[in-house]
Amino acid sequence: LNKYGTAVLVNIINEVGGFPTKNWTRGTFEKAYEISGEYLAEKYLKARKGCWGCVIQCARVAEVSKGPYYTPASEGPEYETIWANGANTMIGNLEAIIKINYLLNDLGFDTISFGNTVATLMELYEKARKGELPEDKAKKLLSLLQDIEPSWGNADAVIQLIWRTAYRIGIGDYTAEGAKRLAEEFGSPDSAIHVKGLELPAYDPRAINSMALSYATSNRGGCHLRAYAVSFDVLGVPKKFDPLAIDKEKVKLVKWQQDYFAVIDSLVVCKFNTFSTGPEDYVPLLQAALGWDDLTTEELLTIGERIYNVERLFAVREGYGYKDYLPKRLLEEPLPDGPAKGRTAKEALEKYLPYYYELRGWENGKPKPETLKRLGLEEFLYIVS
Amino acid sequence: LNKYGTAVLVNIINEVGGFPTKNWTRGTFEKAYEISGEYLAEKYLKARKGCWGCVIQCARVAEVSKGPYYTPASEGPEYETIWANGANTMIGNLEAIIKINYLLNDLGFDTISFGNTVATLMELYEKARKGELPEDKAKKLLSLLQDIEPSWGNADAVIQLIWRTAYRIGIGDYTAEGAKRLAEEFGSPDSAIHVKGLELPAYDPRAINSMALSYATSNRGGCHLRAYAVSFDVLGVPKKFDPLAIDKEKVKLVKWQQDYFAVIDSLVVCKFNTFSTGPEDYVPLLQAALGWDDLTTEELLTIGERIYNVERLFAVREGYGYKDYLPKRLLEEPLPDGPAKGRTAKEALEKYLPYYYELRGWENGKPKPETLKRLGLEEFLYIVS
C-alpha cells in the first residue's frame, strides 16, 4: 500500500480473473500492467501521502507533465478509479485515467459510479449501432450524443462526457442519473451492473465468490466497504480461501466483517487497519477512552450487528433495498476468460444467501421479530410485524 | 462562396500576408492550406446550405466521422472561425477546428471573440512560463489553469477551455470576460488585440491598410462588418487597390461602405449582396415597396450616414467608444513575414483618420454641431454642445 498505493491491486485482481473488463463482460484486461500501481509508481508518481501520523501513507500524488492528458500533481488515482475508468471502459492509457480522475475529483463525482455509467453508455452505444436497441431508443441515444463517440477505449469522449454530465447537457442529462436509470431509459436495463441502484466496484463475484454475498447483502447497494470479502478470498486476511470454492465458512466471515466494519465506520477508523487488527484490539482502547470497563469483544460485535440490522430496518420501512440480489449478467453470463472462465455467481449466491439469513436471523431480507428482541431493538418491531 | 464557403478567404488573405497568426505576431500561417475552404471541401464537406431562395448558398455542413475530433454533420466552420481558432492559436488541424466550432455554436459563443481570447491566454501562458509577467500574476494564472496547458496549437486544451469558459470554472471565469479584461487581469494589456473591447477579426491592417481605418472607426469596436475594406483592398470590389498603398480614395470608400452597410443592415439584407449590388439597386425596390417615389440614391446614403452618426452619438453620450484607435501591437510591431513584412498600421491610421473626420464632419471622434444640423439631427445637439 505504501509503495504502490491501492492500485497495487490491479495486477493481483487481474490475475485471479476478477478484474471486470468491458462493462463486466470479461474478467481480465490485456493492458492491466499499463494501468497498474507499479506502472504508476514508475512513470507518474510525484509523492506519497497519507493521514497525519499514519504509517501506511497509501495516497498517491500523480502528475502528467505534458501532452493532451496534462494533469498537474494531484491526488490519486486509486485502484477503484483506475479500474472503473480503465479496464471497465477499455481505456488502457494511464495518462488519460489520471486526467479523468483529476476532473472527476474536481467536479465532485464518484469515480466508481461514473466509470460504470460510462461503460454502460459504451455498451448502449455499441448496441444502438448494431441495431440491438429498440429503434426509437437508439435514435434518441445517437442524437443526444452530439459530437461524442463513446466507443470502447475512447478517452477523449469520456473527458467530454465528464463536462456534459456535470452540467447535464445532451446525453449528460441521462448519464448524471447513474448507470441504472441510463440503461432503463434506453431500453436495456441489464446493461447496468448495479445492486440496488449502486454501481459495483472492481471485483467480479464470478471469480471471487464471497463478493457475491457481500454485494447482494450490502445495505446501501453494491459496495466493497461493507464486507471486503476480497481480504480472505484473495489476500488471505484473516486466512486464505479458494476464491472459487463454495465454503460456508466464508458466509460467517462476510457477516462478521459487516458487523465489525459497522463498528469501525462508527469509530471513524480507516478500514486498512483491519488488515492487521481485529475487533478485540479496539476493546481496550474504548475502555480507556470511555471508562467502559465491562465492554467485551463479543459485545462490540453485537453493537455492529445492531447497526447492520437498523440499517436494514430502514430499507424495510422505506420499501426499497431489502431485496438481496445480483445483476443478471453476473448470474447468467459465464466469464469467457481467465482463471474463472466458465463461472457465474449464481451457485455461490444461491448457496450462501439462505445460510446468511439463518446466521442473521432474517427472512427474505427482513429481520425476524425474535432477532430484534435478541438485539434489544424492540422499538422497531412495528416495521416487521 | 458557393464552392468553398467563406473559408475560400484563408488562402487569399494568407497570400497577401494579412492572415493574423499566433495572436497577431505574424501575417502568414504555414498550415493555411490545411485549414482552407479548399481542404474543407475536399475532406469534410457533406453539403452546402443557404437561406431560402438564395443563389449563393454560402453555408457549409461539415462532418468529422471518427477520431478524437468526431463531430456530427453540422453547420460551418466559417472563415472567421477557422482563422480565430486556427492560425491565431496555431492550430493547424481542421478536424479540431470543426469540433471547436461545433462546441462554440452549441454553447452560444462568438467564435471570433473566443479564438482571440484563447490566443491571448496562450500568449499570457507563454509569458508566465518565461517570467515575463509580474510574479504574482504569473502564479495566479498558472494555478487557475489546473490541468490545462494552453500552449500554441494545443487543440485539446482549447476544447477543455470551452467548457470551463461556458461554466466559468477556474481560468474560465476570466476567459469568459473576453481578451481585453483577461489581458488586463494578468498584467499584460497589450496581449489583447481589440478595439474598444471587441476582439478583431481575420484581417491584419498592417497588410490590408484600409482595415486600419475600418477597425478604428467602427462604432461597436473592431469589426469587419461596418466597412469591409477587404473588398477593395484585396477583392477588387468596387475596384482594386494596392492594400499597402496610402490612398485617400480608400478613406472615401470606408465612409461610403459604413453608410451603405448601415442601410443594408437596416433592410436586413445579406451583406454578400454588396459584392454585386450598389445602393442604387435598392432605390427602386424601396420605391415599389413603400411608395416612396422621390427617394434617391443620395438620400438613401444620407439615411445611412444619419444612422452612423446616431450610433456615434450614443458612444459620446455614454462616454465610451468614440475614441478611435488601434491596438499598440498593430501600430508598433512590424509584421515579420509575408508580403507586408516590416509594415505597421501606424502610417495608414495617422494619414487616414484626419481626412475621415473631415469627410464625416467630426472632431476627435465626435460629430460637430453643424454636422448634426446638416443631417437634421438637431435633437441630439445637447450631447455634443
Q: Does the beta-carbon distance from B102 to A147 stay under 8 Å? A: yes
**Topology (CATH level 3) of domain B203-384:** 1.10.599
Question: Distance from B163 to chain A by nearest Cα, in Å?
Answer: 7
User: 10 Å Cβ neighbour count for B247?
Assistant: 17
* Among A129, A138, A156, A148, residue whose Cα is nearest residue B72: A148
Residue from A141, A159, A163 whose CB has the most chain B CBs within 10 Å, to mutate: A163
Task: Give the span between the Cα atoms of B82 and B142, in whole angstroms.
Answer: 27
**Residue A357 pLDDT greater than 90, yes or no:** yes
Do B197 and B323 meet the contact criterion of CB atoms below 8 Å apart?
no
ipTM summary value: 0.72
Largest pairwise CA distance in chain B: 68
pLDDT tens-digit series, residues B175-215: 999 999 999 999 999 999 999 999 999 999 999 999 999 99
Q: Does the beta-carbon distance from B156 to A68 stay under 8 Å? A: yes
Q: Does the beta-carbon distance from A148 to B66 stay under 8 Å? A: no
A-chain CB neighbours of B129 within 8 Å are none
Please compute, for residue B214, the number of CA atoms within 13 A of its CA located in the half-sphere on the CB side: 29
Do B4 and B40 meet the contact criterion of CB atoms below 8 Å apart?
yes
User: 10 Å Cβ neighbour count for A241?
Assistant: 18
A 165-184 residues with CB < 8 A to B: 166-167
Q: Does the beta-carbon distance from B66 to A102 stay under 8 Å? A: no
Mean pLDDT on B128-148: 96
Task: Give the span between the Cα atoms of A318 and A366, in whole angstroms.
Answer: 12
Task: Give the span between the Cα atoms of B304 and B299, in whole angstroms.
Answer: 9
Contact status of A146 with chain B (Cβ, < 8 Å) = yes
**Residue B385 pLDDT greater than 90, yes or no:** no
Task: Give the span between the Cα atoms of B243 and B207, in whole angstroms.
Answer: 6
* Inter-chain contacts counted by CB atoms under 8 A, chains A and B: 41
Contact status of B99 with chain A (Cβ, < 8 Å) = yes
A-chain CB neighbours of B148 within 8 Å are 70
What string of DSSP letters covers B77-91?
Answer: --HHHHHHHTGGGT-
pLDDT value, residue B140: 98
User: 10 Å Cβ neighbour count for A266?
Assistant: 11
B291 Cβ neighbours under 8 A, 6+ residues apart: none
Mean pLDDT on A67-76: 93
Task: Give the span between the Cα atoms of B306 and A1, in whole angstroms.
Answer: 77
**Residue A169 pLDDT greater than 90, yes or no:** yes
Do B175 and B169 meet the contact criterion of CB atoms below 8 Å apart?
no
Q: Is A320 exposed, middle or buried (0-12, 13-18, 19+ CB in 10 A)?
A: exposed
pLDDT value, residue B240: 95
**B12: which 3 cell numbers?**
487569399
Please compute, for residue A75, the number of CA atoms within 13 A of its CA located in the half-sphere on the CB side: 9
Q: Does the beta-carbon distance from A72 to B167 stay under 8 Å? A: no
Average pLDDT taken over every residue of chain B = 96
For residue A68, the chain B residue with the least C-alpha distance is B156
Task: Give the span between the Cα atoms of A24 and A13, in whole angstroms.
Answer: 14
pLDDT tens-digit series, residues A195-209: 999 999 999 999 999
Question: Distance from A106 to chain B by nearest Cα, in Å?
Answer: 10
Contact status of B106 with chain A (Cβ, < 8 Å) = yes
Task: Give the span between the Cα atoms of B150 and B124, in whole angstroms.
Answer: 9
Does the domain at A204-384 match CATH 3.40.50.2300? Answer given as no
Task: Give the span between the Cα atoms of A319 and A315, in whole angstroms.
Answer: 6
Domain ranges of chain B: 6-195, 203-384
pLDDT tens-digit series, residues A143-167: 999 999 999 999 999 999 999 999 9
Q: Does the beta-carbon distance from B160 to A159 stay under 8 Å? A: yes
Whether omega before A284 lies within 30 degrees of 0, making that bond cis, reads no
Q: Does the beta-carbon distance from B148 to A70 stay under 8 Å? A: yes
- Which of A284-313 are b and which e, b meaning 16 or more Cβ less than 10 Å from the residue's Cβ? eeeeeeeeeeebeeeebbbbbbbbbbbbbb
Contact status of A65 with chain B (Cβ, < 8 Å) = no
Q: Nearest Cβ partner of B72 from A74, A99, A146?
A: A146
Task: Give the span between the Cα atoms of B60 and B41, in whole angstroms.
Answer: 9
Do A221 and A195 meet the contact criterion of CB atoms below 8 Å apart?
yes
A136 Cβ neighbours under 8 A, 6+ residues apart: none
* Among A132, A175, A177, A131, residue whose Cα is nearest residue A150: A175
Contact status of B156 with chain A (Cβ, < 8 Å) = yes
Question: Distance from B61 to chain A by nearest Cα, in Å?
Answer: 14
pLDDT tens-digit series, residues A228-273: 999 999 999 999 999 999 999 999 999 999 999 999 999 999 999 9
Task: Say which amino acid occupies A69.
Answer: Y
* Among A147, A159, A148, A150, residue whose Cα is nearest residue A68: A159
Q: Nearest Cβ partner of A70 from B66, B147, B167?
A: B147
pLDDT tens-digit series, residues B54-77: 999 999 999 999 999 999 999 999
With bands split at pLDDT 50, 70 and 90, how would you rate the model's confidence at A316?
A: very high
For residue A160, the chain B residue with the least C-alpha distance is B160
* Among B132, B382, B356, residue whose Cα is nearest residue B258: B356
Do A105 and A75 meet the contact criterion of CB atoms below 8 Å apart?
yes
Task: Give the span between the Cα atoms of B295 and B289, in whole angstroms.
Answer: 12
Q: Do domains B6-195 and B203-384 have the same CATH topology?
A: no
**B211: which 3 cell numbers?**
482595415
**Topology (CATH level 3) of domain A6-198:** 1.10.569
Do B148 and B206 meet the contact criterion of CB atoms below 8 Å apart?
no
Contact status of A72 with chain B (Cβ, < 8 Å) = yes
pLDDT tens-digit series, residues A83-105: 999 999 999 999 999 999 999 99
**Residue A172 pLDDT greater than 90, yes or no:** yes
Provide the β-strand partners of residue A321: none
A277 Cβ neighbours under 8 A, 6+ residues apart: none
Contact status of A97 with chain B (Cβ, < 8 Å) = no
CATH of domain B6-195: 1.10.569.10
pLDDT value, residue A191: 98
Mean pLDDT on B152-171: 96
Question: Distance from B305 to chain A by nearest Cα, in Å?
Answer: 45
Task: Give the span between the Cα atoms of B199 and B133, in whole angstroms.
Answer: 22
Question: Distance from B97 to chain A by nearest Cα, in Å?
Answer: 13
* Among B86, B75, B96, B101, residue whose Cα is nearest residue B36: B86
pLDDT value, residue A339: 97
Which helix (H) or strand (E) covers residue A367, if one does? strand A366-367
With bands split at pLDDT 50, 70 and 90, how would you rate the model's confidence at A385?
A: confident
Q: Does the beta-carbon distance from B99 to A147 stay under 8 Å? A: yes
Mean pLDDT on B18-28: 98
Please give the backbone phi and psi of residue B4, each rounded to the nearest 5 degrees, phi first: -115, 0
**Residue B366 pLDDT greater than 90, yes or no:** yes
A132 Cβ neighbours under 8 A, 6+ residues apart: A188
Question: Distance from B9 to chain A by nearest Cα, in Å?
Answer: 27
> Based on C-alpha coordinates, what's the Rg of chain B?
21
Please give the backbone phi and psi of residue A366, each rounded to the nearest 5 degrees, phi first: -115, 135
Task: Report angle CA A373, A378, A381 to the nearest 5 degrees.
Answer: 100
Q: Does the beta-carbon distance from A72 to B146 stay under 8 Å? A: yes
pLDDT tens-digit series, residues B283-339: 999 999 999 999 999 999 999 999 999 999 999 999 999 999 999 999 999 999 999
B306 Cβ neighbours under 8 A, 6+ residues apart: B375, B376, B377
Phi-psi region of B276 (alpha: psi -120 to 50; beta: other; left: phi over 0): alpha
Question: Distance from B119 to chain A by nearest Cα, in Å?
Answer: 18
Task: Give the span between the Cα atoms of A114 and A77, in whole angstroms.
Answer: 14
Mean pLDDT on A279-290: 95
